[in-house]
Structure formats: structure tokens, C-alpha cells
Structure 1
Amino acid sequence: MLHDLQTEKRNLLTMDLDQLPTLSVLRLMQEEDEKVSLLIREKLNEIERVTECVIHSFKQGGRLIYIGAGTSGRMGILDAVECVPTFGTDPSMVQGVIAGGEEAIRFAVEGAEDSLEQGEEDLAKLNLSDKDTVIGIAASGRTPYVIGALQYASRIGATTGSLACNEDAEISKYAKHSIEIVTGPEILTGSTRLKAGTAQKMVLNMISTAAMIGIGKSFSNLMVDVQPTNEKLVERAKTMIQEITDCDYETATKYYEMSHQHVKVAVIMILTGLNYAEAKIKLDQSEGFVQRAIQSN
């Protein structure tokens, strides 16, 4: 039953919430959120297993698909859209699917999360394949929309993972790899956009970032596949070239342009003396890993 879930129980520390001054409310929120990081630490092995599946999918040309309803669906979308500018990925590589479609990103769509069939249909529209990894997200751990999606993904042969904020979550039964971050009662009863939402965002950030690092999307701790879509990011790209190669700003700018605004290629050109075409081939042969490309020259 819904009222039996930890995320639906009343928080005994906040029974007088409506009587508290603003600072006390904020302090309680901060203290509850502070617990989330420690809870996640206990689940790093489970998070690692899901992340390795995502890396495997990416290396096969597969995708990472998040699917959820309400706040959970929005968290998946948020993480997915940020992968494009941060890692220079195609928008199809990491996708977020939400019950109720695009309208549900901004507005509540009544009953959208209650359909097993709709979860299946929404994944089917993406031409899901056995190369993909699907992660179902539900704070309650019992959303029918997510269950339907995971059942369909399993039939297709896709790798399945789940992320819930309750113990022994229903969605865990339908995923090959499950993650359960038991965040407990919210300060405002049942409002899982709070502590549970924080946990979801942290875990999804960990999965996508570690997976991107695992396929060569970083050099040291620099995001060298960043898309220079505005002036700030263009300057960041040039600064990264400077830092990696120890060249001056003018040289970095020159090679940034010569490399067709591709930080990795510019770095390889400077450090190896290869021209653009040669550096591009070397990078491709090294599966996107800059260190390998330089060391193999």
C-alpha cells in the first residue's frame, strides 16, 4: 500500500513544520538533504554495475534511456539534456522519457503514470534495441508506467536498471540491476521532489558522468568534448587547450580554429605535430581517448 512506503510516511522531526520560522525550516531541509550523500555512499557498488552497463551500451553504439513520471521523469530529462553541451553527444545518445510527454515537463498530466501500456508504447517509439540501457526511475518504486517500460525493455533484450527511493521497490523486480536509495520520510509528507529528488539527481549525475569518462569524454578532469556553443564555452575550450599543451593563448586560438573547434584534435595536433586529418584519424583509432592517441604516435 502507498501509505506503507517510507517516502509517504510522516517525518517525526517536522511535525511542527507549519509553526517554525523560515530559518528553522531551511535548516531542517538542509539536514535532511545532508543524509542523502551518505545513503548513496552505501550503494556505490550497485551504481557501478549500472554505470558499467551504460558504458557497454555506448561502446556498442547503444543509448541510455531514462524513463519516469513526474519529478522522476523530469530528473531523467534534466540529466539527459545536459549531456549534449557537456560531452558533445548527439541528443539521441542519452534521452529522458516522461509519462505524459513533453507537456508533462512543465505541467502535471493526470493519470499518465498509471498506464503500463503507455510506458511500453513510449519506449517502442524510440525503436529500442538490445544495445540500449533503460533506467526506470520512481521515488515510490511502484509506478505502473515505469514497470511497463521495464517489462518491454526486457523483452527487447535491452539492459535494464532501476532507481527507487524505497526498500524492496516493485520496479526493482523488473530490472536486471536495481538501485534503492532509501531516503525516508520527507520534511513535507510525500513531497518526493525534495530529498528523494536530490538523491535521484545525484545518482543520475554519477551514472552519466562516469559513463562518459569511461568512453573517453574527458582528459584528466577536463571536459574536452564540450560543445563551444557560446562565448564562455569557446573561451573554456581555448583555455583547456592551453592547460593541456602548455601553449600560449594565441597558439591555442590558432589550433582551435585549425581543428574545426575540436579541443581533442587541437591537443593532438599540438602535442604530436600531426595535421588535422592525421590527428582526427589518430583520435578515431584511439576510440576518443586523447591520452591513447598521443601515446600511440
Structure 2
Amino acid sequence: MPDPAGADAPPPDRLEVVGKVAIVIRECPHANTANEWLWGKVWRQVKYMASMRKSVTPKYIADAITAAICQFCPAGKVFDAFCGVGGQTVSLAAAGLKVWAIDIDQNNVNDAHHNASAHGVLERVRIACGDFFDGVARLASKWQPIGKKFAAMHIDMPWGPAYATEGACPLDRMGADGKLSAYEVLEVASRLSDSLVFKGPRTMAISDVVKLAYHLQSLKAKGAPQSEPEIPVQSEPEIPVAEAYVSRNKTHMVAVYMGEVAANYMATLPAPTTSRNLTRRLWTVEQCVDDMRRAGKAVGLGRVAFEPRAP
């Protein structure tokens, strides 16, 4: 499809980076009941507070993310940040992976332990109650001097109150109180893994997918995490993979693969002949998926021009 006029050219008074993103539509099986959609056949044995129901990653989606981590990441432990009641944790452990997880709510941690036991994987998980930033900082102080890292970091932040009120979920106003920045979380996570998987809502702006991945790339280029890195405009942005999960024609959420896991994932996708300019469309992941489905496509490549984050 032809690009809009003035596609990627920025105004002369500001600099822009043009980044690309691969979008993959992953069709998930339909479950007979809402409980089976969340937990599969063991739903009667799991435990969680009613307030956490919407925060549970549905089993079919969790298993798709687990499959990607198993296929595209090296062997090793996986860290599950903001694990909640353990939907993704138990999926990873059920695949044979050793999982370290953390959540700030003790009730969630207790339920995650119970749910790991209900799935028969308790011996493969280590779940701590605590602050993500403090926990990773302590671990990084021990691991970084010896070059030790996780095979992958799975990040499932609370999407925050703005998710329900704004057209596109703002990544700098996530968390239960709307004060948690995905960019700051990414900085910390990058200390302990070269492969990051960020789970976001279907209303995540496709431009933010590119910005998030480029932020990670800038951290790696500088050699150490910084709060607001100066991004070298001449760098060729790495391509993240946005895997959108669809069931019964509804897009539920997206997992953004960044770093080494994205490079390995990209190597398995068909080489695109063209990329679509999405700069001025301001589309969310859900809108991109709807457009791709109308065109009969399951894989697409988009490009977005954006201003680098200020130093």
C-alpha cells in the first residue's frame, strides 16, 4: 500500500529516528468457559482474589509466550516480574523451565505458590514478595560482576488506571497508581537479561513498541542503564516483534519481544518485501491487527518515525 505524503520526513527543526516493528497475529484456541480460558482444566484447583481476575494471563496466551521463550532464548532461568498470582509463572515452569518470580503483594505471592503447587511445578519456581526495583538491584549487585544473567525476563506490569480511560495506554503512567514507567522498568530488567518480553494491553500504541525497543538498544549501546539516555540518531534500530493474541476475532493483549529473543524470532519470519508507514496513523496494536486481518495477513512489518527521548 502506498505511503501517505511526507511519510518519514521530519520537519527541518527536529530530528527523528525511523524504527521498524514486526507484527505477528497469534490465534488462540477458544475455551468452553471463562475459567478454562484463564487456567485450562485445572481451574477448580487454583486460588486467587476476585480483584486479580482481570490480571491473570489466560492459559493459551501464557503458553504461547512460553513457547516463544523456549524456542528463541538460550537455556537457563527465566525471571517473571510482577508475577501476580502466577499465570505466566506456572506456564513457564510447566514447560520445564526454572522460574524466579517477584510480586509486591504478599497475597498474590501466596496464591502464586498455591497455583504452582496445583500445577505440579512448585519445585521449579522461586517466588519472592518484594519491590521489583529493590529485588533486581540486589540480584544485579551479585550477578553483574560475574556476568551472570537470566535467559529471559518476562515483564507484566499493572497497566494502570489510564489504560481504561485513554485511547492508547501511556507507558510512562502504568502501575496501580499510574506512576510506574515502562522505560524505567526496562532499564532495570536489562541489567539481568539480554532478552526481554514485555506484556502490554491491546491499546498499546504501535509507536511505543518501537520506542520501547529502541530505548533498550540505547541502554545496551551505552553499556549501562541510564534514566533518560541520549540516543544516537544515526544508529540502525533493532526490530522488535509484537505478537498479538487473538481469539474469536478479539485482540486480547500483546507481547513485545526485544533484544536477542527478538533477533532470533525475526530469523524465523518470512522476509518482508515492504514495510508500511504507520507514523501518522497513531494506531494501537489492536488497530494494526484489525487492518492486517482485513487484508488476510498474519505477519506484517510497520515503520514509525519518532523523536528520540530527551537526554
TM-score, length-scaled by structure 2: 0.28
TM-score, length-scaled by structure 1: 0.29
Higher strand share: 2
Higher relative contact order (CA 8 A, sep 6+): 2
